[in-house]
Chain A
Amino acid sequence: MSEQTEPVRFEPGEHVAVRAAHPPGHVRTPAYVRGCEGVIERLCGTYPNPEEMAYGRSGLPAQPLYRVRFRQADLWADYEGGPSDTVDVEIFQHWLQPTGVNNDGTPRRS
């Protein structure tokens, strides 16, 4: 792809973790999934980065956007429903990382 688009890094079915970051400013990654693990449900396409667009900039290179499926029971300790209940959230690639690594990309000790 061109320099205007970030290459796609994840595939449907892959386990991913949402970075546990809390920068100020406009962010489209809901706080309740930051630091949580889920599975890529699908690639939605590539879109200009809203965090940049919010400040009047182009948002390029465009970021791949995924739907990530989280198990409710993983998000909320007191979740009422069954273990198969899920919430799907659209998340831009720069917020995602493979599971099993720290926020800075170093392998996590288990």
Chain B
Amino acid sequence: MEVAVRELLIEKGVLTADQVRRQVEDMDSRTPARGAAVVARAWSDPVFHRLLMADGNAAVETMGLERGPYKLVVVENTPDVHNVIVCTLCSCYPRWLLGLPPDWYKSRNYRSRMVREPRAVLREFGLELPQDTTVRVHDSTADMRYLVLPMRPVGTDEWQEQQLGALVGRDAMVGVAVCASR
């Protein structure tokens, strides 16, 4: 079906083979390393951190990254608050910073349960949160896309931005993991 529809659209001049190819290349270039670089910059640069929280799209643009097609809302983890992202209606995801979402993010089980029993789901991901930590679930239902700003691991005060970026995994930016210094 994909071949048939694509060839027809190209024959009819709705789009070109070149556009499809470039689009796939762009997709391949978007990986969680971009999001990790944003997080590392926020950990290292207080001015950038402020801008990122106030206007995520403008902040990522200052790093030379694409602004993104949706409004970016960054939610910050603290010792008292843990944030986690889900899209119960489909699979909204900050693709320009993290790439295409993993299968589990799009799965019925994750989407059904994350809003109702986030602590149980996080436990399945190996993350046990203290009862007095506030868990904030963000259901990405419309025109916002969310990125979790994880807590900076302790003992990394002297680290350079690039080293810090290596600590930031995709799952921590979705909120189903945290960052550790080793």
Contact = CB atoms under 8 A, between A and B. Distances in A.
Interface of A: 28-30, 32, 44-45, 47, 50, 65, 67, 72, 75-76, 79-82, 84-92
B19 interface: no
Contacts, number: 75
A65 B137 contact: no
Q: Which 3 A-B pairs have the closest CB atoms?
A: A90-B142, A87-B137, A84-B134
Contact of A80 (B71, B119, B133, B143): B119
Interface stretch (B110-118, B156-164, B172-180): B110-118
Given A44-B71, A80-B117, A81-B119, A65 B89 contact: no
A82 B89 contact: no
Contact of B142 (A72, A79, A85, A92): A92
A103 to B, nearest CB: 21
A67 B89 CA distance: 15
A65 B140 CA distance: 12
